[in-house]
Structure 1
């Protein structure tokens, strides 16, 4: 269950009403933690592996700097992406699917439904990234395909199923960096098409969503070709 409250000036969403996540957030705000490794560092996104009094976690800060006015107005229509992600992750894990990495807390600095700053604490999954495999073994492909089917059945998406987002752990294959977007037939088809492209896992489902994606991709290519000629 995800609890929510206002905490230290943030809209704070955290797992299982567990006070330790508030304590970790306090450590983060006080810089009372150790950075083990910087995983990503670009203008608006910082992702690090950190050590705290409560263990090792992935710590992510996202502070969007572009299209702020557009994001503000879209927040009233499209909702809160990361808030949806933490609730959806909790939901599918409570359904028994531990394939996605866990999402422990989300802190947002908000005006109405618009957040200008996101601070996240995410499960660190130890293991070997799929990108480190020269060839993906067939048993791992089979496990990924089965787990992704279960994920889609529970109405959640990967959104970007490439080799860097899968980790082979002691407990099996895990997926990281999931999507907080609404699960539709078209988005599920995009997941399957991407798995075929990046992981060589054949897409066996050619439903309405699949043909919608194929049609839109063909239409985009035609439009690009026309624009190129003009």
Structure 2
């Protein structure tokens, strides 16, 4: 299935050396959407991200560039992109990762075959960039091979459905996606996890995930919020 229209949100913070590759992976899909909007949201970067993003917007008609006047954090940057999304389907990509070429073809086919699907995920594959081994904050089983991609970069969802579940909670610095997926499951609907790899996830010395490993207290807040919603 060819997706009718797709909005992709890519938050950017000091990602000048990565973001072009991320955008290229969206533009190189084997089954490109009929209409495409790529929202590059620069979260007040202090490196050369502004120049790179402006060049990408000039080079590709689908790319829309927004430079935030102050740093909002990844959830705030993503929310800015979500508010600007104007197509039927919504997806995300982190600045240092890249989609597999058949991501949209595989996930779009699920919506064609099962229209009642809430959202579709897929497997994530890790690769090392500039480091000789998996960073210490990585989970041990990540070395065993591809893992289920319970993260926004592996997601395809109808934009209306995402907004019904709710925007990302900007109080979370690292766990906004964990909180959103918890709310999505509580909202009901069918979640599909494909056995196919849809995301290449880059492991390098400056991953935001490394900071997330030091912020496990946020996960406790997510769990607490989930329990309170069940009352």
TM-score by length of 1: 0.28
Give TM-score scaled by structure 2 length. Answer: 0.28
Structure of greater relative contact order (alpha carbons < 8 Å, 6+ residues apart): 2
Q: Which has the larger radius of gyration?
A: 1
